[in-house]
């Protein structure tokens, strides 16, 4: 039986997809700005973050409104609760893309201390995790979401490798490279945090679809 409520839920679903698209775009552009050392592109990520902030407030208000008016239960409740959490996660992802862009502005005028190898790899994983997490939400696919959670360890390993390489391969040997080296460490951390947020989204999607709490319970995957 189609309910009037379903139309409002679809509207919320569309808004969350739009939020996901904004977040994905922000990561893609910040990563491209880093690759191309493109300050204009980096600045555009920072400038466009206001779209994400505005949409975050709209989605939050819609979720609260739906809860207040419809007192949702079961899968409707799980969907709205997940929508609220995804909203916050996606906003943080977009903020981290802004952080990456700010680091790009810090280093764009200076030569790189080394060719970037692992950071592009990490950025590919981060983008893939975010995209897959959002796809799992769109398609209500718990198994796809579980796959995202399993990708996170690779991101953690790459971040540790990058930190180790930059600190011990460059900063320890020559402290004067620190202003160009530290932003690379920060960028790797930002990317790794994006992966963590994608993991959170995936955990929330598993709950939304299956009603199972897998957060902090890797054995349930």
Partner 1 sequence: MAKIVTQDLKLWYGNFQALKSVNASFEAQMITAIIGPSGCGKSTLLRVLNRMNDLTEGVRTEGQVLVDGNNILGDGADLVTLRKKVGMVFQRPNPFPLSIYENIAFGERIHTGRVKRDVMDEIVERGLKSVLLWDELKDKLKSSAMSLSLEQKQRLCIARLIAVKPDVLLMDEPCSTLDPQATARIEELMYELKRDYTIIIVTHSMQQAARISDDTGFMLLGELVEFGKTKDIFTAPKDKRTEDYITGRYG
Residues that bind partner 1 (CB under 8 A): 1, 3, 5, 71-78, 210-212
Tell the smallest beta-carbon distance from residue 84 to partner 1 (Å). Answer: 15
The least distance separating partner 1 from the CB of residue 101, rounded to whole angstroms, comes to 39
Minimum distance, C-beta of residue 60 to partner 1, in the bound complex (Å): 21
The full 3-state SS of 185-202, as one line of letters, equals HHHHHHHHHHHHHHHHHH
- Residue 17 or 77: the one with the smaller Cβ distance to partner 1 is 77
Nearer to partner 1, 29 or 78 (CB): 78
Q: Element (H or E) spanning 161, and its range?
A: helix 142-166
Query: What does the alpha-carbon distance between residue 193 and residue 171 come to, in Å, rounded to a whole number?
Result: 23
Report H helices in 118-141. Answer: 118-138
* Distance between CA atoms of residues 24 and 18, nearest Å: 10
Positive or negative CA dihedral for 128, 132, 133, 138? positive
- Least distance CB 206 / partner 1 (angstroms): 11
Residue with smaller CB distance to partner 1, 117 or 213: 213
Considering the complex, state which of residue 3 and residue 160 has its C-beta at the smaller distance from partner 1.
3
CB of 219 to partner 1, least distance (A): 19
* CB closer to partner 1, 135 vs 212: 212
- Pick the closest to residue 112 from 192, 184, 175, 31 (CA basis): 184
Residue 10 half-sphere exposure toward CB, CA atoms < 13 A = 6
């Amino acid at each position: 039986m189609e309910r009037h409520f379903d139309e409002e839920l679809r509207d919320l679903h569309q808004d969350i997809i739009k939020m996901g698209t904004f977040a994905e775009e922000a990561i893609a552009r910040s990563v491209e700005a880093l690759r191309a050392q493109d300050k204009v592109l980096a600045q555009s990520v920072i400038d466009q973050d206001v779209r994400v902030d505005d949409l975050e407030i709209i989605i939050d208000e819609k979720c609260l409104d739906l809860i207040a008016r419809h007192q949702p239960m079961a899968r409707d409740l799980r969907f709205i609760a997940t929508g609220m959490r995804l909203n916050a996660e996606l906003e943080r992802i977009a903020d981290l893309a802004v952080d990456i862009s700010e680091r790009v502005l810090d280093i764009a005028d200076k030569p790189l201390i080394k060719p970037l190898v692992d950071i592009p790899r990490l950025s590919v994983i981060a983008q893939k995790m975010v995209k897959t997490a959002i796809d799992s939400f769109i398609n209500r696919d718990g198994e796809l979401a579980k796959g995202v959670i399993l990708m996170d360890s690779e991101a953690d390993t790459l971040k540790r490798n990058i930190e180790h390489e930059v600190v011990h391969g460059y900063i320890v040997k020559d402290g004067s490279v620190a202003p160009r080296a530290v932003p690379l460490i920060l960028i790797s951390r930002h990317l790794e945090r994006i992966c963590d947020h994608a993991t959170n989204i995936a955990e929330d999607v598993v709950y939304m679809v299956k009603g199972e709490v897998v957060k902090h319970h890797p054995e349930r995957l």
